[in-house]
Amino acid sequence: MKSITQTKFLSINYSTLHGLKIVPIGLSLLLISYWANISHYPIDNISLPIVFALGSLLLFITIDQYYKHTFGEIKPTFASRRTQRIEQFILGALALVAFWADVTFNLPVNFVGLLFASSFLFEKPRVTLPLNKFSTIKLVLSICIILASISPLYLGANWWNTIGVRAPILGVTMLVGMLIVIQGTIWHFFFVTSLPTAEVKDE
């Protein structure tokens, strides 16, 4: 370990820094959004998105086992797990509301994208001041999503169509999928260069 500060940071954000685990999620979001963008409507066959989702799940499980067997596991406390479940429930409810607003109202703002940007900012490790390398990366990714989410305000209502994207929500979710893959890869690189390849006992 390079410092006590880094050791503390790793212990607090241990599972979050298993960056490759979110890569399948990003890939699935990207591929499903791209499939929806190029599909001919009405859609009669949704087998391909199901394959993407199942493949993402299997890849996630495989990567999770890789981290456990290679680096060990730190089990969160009951209070931490409860807080995480509450946050996930709230985020899920907000996602449903945001999706409903995006498909119901023809507004020049994509609420799903803004929700993703918020999650990039506030999920662990959170963006804090003064900025460190994690905060800087997450802040830049969040700004990219925000700019894409409000892009019709400054590029025009139909600008997504000029680049071959049928709807703003599809463009935003494809971008988010790519950024999730990028963030996960960066997190993994930091993690494997900060820890020895050795088993960590459960706490």
Cis-peptide into 108, omega within 30 deg: no
Listed in sequence order, the residues at least 6 apart from 8 whose beta carbon sits closer than 8 Å to its beta carbon are none
* Confidence band for 13, pLDDT divided at 50, 70 and 90: low
Q: What is the pLDDT of residues 148-157, one digit of tens each?
A: 999 999 998 8
Q: Would you state the pLDDT for residue 197?
A: 47
Q: Would you state the pLDDT for residue 25?
A: 93
Angle at 70 between CA 69 and CA 74, to 5 degrees: 75
Provide, rounded to the nearest whole percent, the portion of the chain with pLDDT above 90. 43
Q: Would you state the pLDDT for residue 1?
A: 43
3-state secondary structure of 80: helix
How confident is the prediction for the chain on average, in pLDDT?
83
Q: What is the pLDDT of residues 50-83, one digit of tens each?
A: 999 999 999 999 998 888 888 777 776 667 678 7
pLDDT at 2 exceeding the cut of 60? no
pLDDT at 202 exceeding the cut of 50? no
In this structure, the number of other CB atoms found within 10 A of the CB of residue 73 comes to: 16
Task: Please report, for residues 88, 128, 137, 177, the alpha-carbon distance to residue 195 in angstroms, rounded to integers and kept in the order given.
Answer: 28, 23, 21, 27
The one-letter amino acid at 23: V
Q: Would you state the pLDDT for residue 195?
A: 61
Q: Would you state the pLDDT for residue 5?
A: 62
Q: Would you state the pLDDT for residue 67?
A: 85
In this structure, the number of other CB atoms found within 10 A of the CB of residue 105 comes to: 9
Q: What is the pLDDT of residues 127-141, one digit of tens each?
A: 677 777 778 888 999
pLDDT at 28 exceeding the cut of 90? yes
Closest CA to 194 of 18, 7, 15: 7
Alpha helix stretches (DSSP H) within the chain: 4-12, 23-38, 47-71, 78-104, 111-122, 133-149, 151-155, 159-162, 168-194
pLDDT at 200 exceeding the cut of 50? no
3-state secondary structure of 40: coil
pLDDT at 178 exceeding the cut of 70? yes
